[in-house]
Structure 1
């Protein structure tokens, strides 16, 4: 049975992605910073009839927590088929470039960029043991530098000094990672789940959690002929599904 680790999976899009990966026949390691919340989420899925799910404590901003999660998962499996780096934070509501707190910007980058890098590096050896490994980094349509410089873009005024740059940096890291793994069976992509109604944005988004999670799952289950080093975004590019970087 194929396996997947999803960070930040105890609620919202991550939780729904866990449900949909279970529906695809995967054994799901439901990553949660708070193990009790992770257990509650896993119990809910089990109550729905899914047995192949178990919580795993992982705080992507804590090196010791990441190392412990890697050790725990490695004791259960010799390979990991899919890593979905879903955990992320928004930061303060207002993020002007000239006055945002440096500490707040660092906090956002710690989760949205450095956490992804450290988790990926920690689990890469298990991923390399899988026949067709997949890495999905959850980005945002707001991470497109090309579109942020286009006054005609619908989200052009939505600027911020922390969240948007953190996702742009995540996109850049993903390109570098995909390049390093280009001659392997890996597929490494970023996915914009779309402007979705979640706790993340006080349920202000028009999109559904189900649709958002389906976008992650689609990239997580790409076949051998699927693309790598792509920025998937139905919101930014409804015709092609591929956003400009």
Structure 2
């Protein structure tokens, strides 16, 4: 049985991704900053008939918390097959480039960018023990530099300075991570779940969490012939998913 860790998985797209992996026979660790919320998520999944799931207290902004989470997972297994860096915050709105405070940028980067680095570097040794390790960094087509410069893009006038900057930085980290692991069995990709209706966007999204979860789970389970080092948005590009950085 393969093991997966999903950060910020107690609700929304992360929770649905956990359900998708459980349906495909994975053992899933639900990373949750608040342990009570994590346990509640596990209880829901248990009631749906899923047993191979447990909550792990994990605050991606706290290195000690990340390290403690690793110790708890190591008590269960020495191998991690999938890491999904899903935890994120939007930073609140509006996010005008001339008005958003430096503190706002710092707070969002702490979770969305530095958090990904903390978790990835902490768990990389467990991932290296997997025969087919997979890392999915949950991104957004809204952080594409190319799309944001295209007046014909549907969301061209929906600019935000803070959140997209954090995800663009994460995308660059993804590129470098995939490059460093290019001669291994790792597959590392940045995947956009799409504009799905969750608490994250005040349920303004036009897609469902089921669609978002399926998109992320798909790249967590890709085979040896799957892509690596790519930016994927199947909502933007239904044919191949590959999206311009």
State TM-score, norm by structure 1. Answer: 0.99
Determine the C-alpha separation between the residues in 2 that align with 1:238 and 1:20. Answer: 20
Aligned-partner SS, 2:30: strand
Aligned counterparts of 1:208 and 1:92: Cα–Cα separation in 2: 22
Q: Deviations over 1:152-211 (max 9, x none)?
A: 111111211210111111111000000000000000001000000000011001100000
Q: CA offsets, 1:62-114, max 9 Å, x none?
A: 11100100111112111100000000000121111111011111111111000
Please name the residue that 1:81 is paired with: 81
Q: How many corresponding residue pairs?
A: 245
- Give the SS at the match of 2:16: helix
Are 2:222 and 1:222 aligned? yes
Offset of residue 25 of structure 1: 0.1
1:202 to 2:202 alignment: yes
- Alignment root-mean-square deviation, CA: 0.7
CA distance in 1, matches of 2:57, 2:23: 23
Q: What does residue 146 of structure 1 align with?
A: 146
Gaps of 5+ in 2: none
Q: How does 1:112-123 map to 2 (within 5 A)?
A: 112-123=112-123
Structure 2 counterpart of 1:104:
104
Q: Distance in 2 between matches of 1:239 and 1:47?
A: 36
The equivalences for 1:3-82 within 5 A come to 3-82=3-82
CA deviations 1:211-244 (Å, max 9, x no partner) are 0000000000000111101111012223331110
